[in-house]
Chain A
C-alpha cells in the first residue's frame, strides 16, 4: 500500500528565510510524486511533480523539490519565503494504478513579517 508522511503539522518562518517541508513516502515501485499548495477555502494547486530523470525538480513560485530514493523522501524547498507563501502544503504519491494519489496530512506554513 502506498502512504505519505509529512512529519511537520505546522511550520513558522520569517519572511525572507529559507524553507524546507519534509515528505516521506512508501510505494512499491517507482513513484510519481507531487507537491500541492492550498489557500484557505480553495482547491489544491500543483507546485511541481517528479516522474523520472533529474532528481531535483523546479516548480512554480520559486519552489523546488529533491527526490531521494535511498531515503524515500521528496522534500520541498524555497530559498526565500514571501508572506504570500503562507498556506497549507500537501505531498502526494501515486502510480499508474488508476491514477490514485495518496496524500500526506499536510503542513501549514505561517510566515512572520
Chain B
C-alpha cells in the first residue's frame, strides 16, 4: 500500500536533547512538508522540500533542521534551540510543489519534552 509513515507515534525527550522525527513515503511524490500543530492554532509550516537535496524554511523554522538525501525520506530534527518543542508534528507530501494537487498527510508524531 502506498502511504506516508511517521515514526514513532509518541516521543518523549528531556529538555536540552535533540530529537529526530522520521517521515517516509512510497507515493513517489516529489514534494514533502513538515507542519507543527498546536491546539487552537491550526497547522504551521516548518520546512518543505520540492526535490532531493533541496529544502526551504517555512514560517516557523527556528530551532528545527531537516535533510532530504532521498526522495522517500524527509527527517525533521527538533534541536535544543526550539523553545517550545512539545507539539503534534505532521508530515505531508504532494506530487509536485508547484501544482494544485492536494497534500497527503501521515498520522503524526506527538512529541513531549519535559
Contacts and interface: CB of A to CB of B under 8 A. Distances in A.
Nearest to B104: A46
Contacts of A103: 35, 42-44
Contacts of B33: 99
Interface residues of B, number: 31
Interface in B60-114: 90, 94, 96-108, 110
A98 B48 contact: yes
Contacts of B50: 98-99
Given A41-B110, A103-B44, 11 more contacts: A9-B40, A34-B103, A41-B107, A43-B106, A97-B98, A98-B56, A99-B48, A99-B99, A100-B48, A104-B42, A105-B40
Contacts of B98: 96-99
B17 interface: no
- Range, interface on chain A: 20 to 34
Contacts, number: 70
Name the residue in A92, A99, A102 with the highest tally of chain B Cβ atoms < 10 Å from its Cβ.
A99
Contacts of A4: 42
Nearest to B90: A43
Interface of B: 4, 6, 31, 33, 35, 40-45, 48, 50, 56, 58, 90, 94, 96-108, 110
A99 B90 contact: no
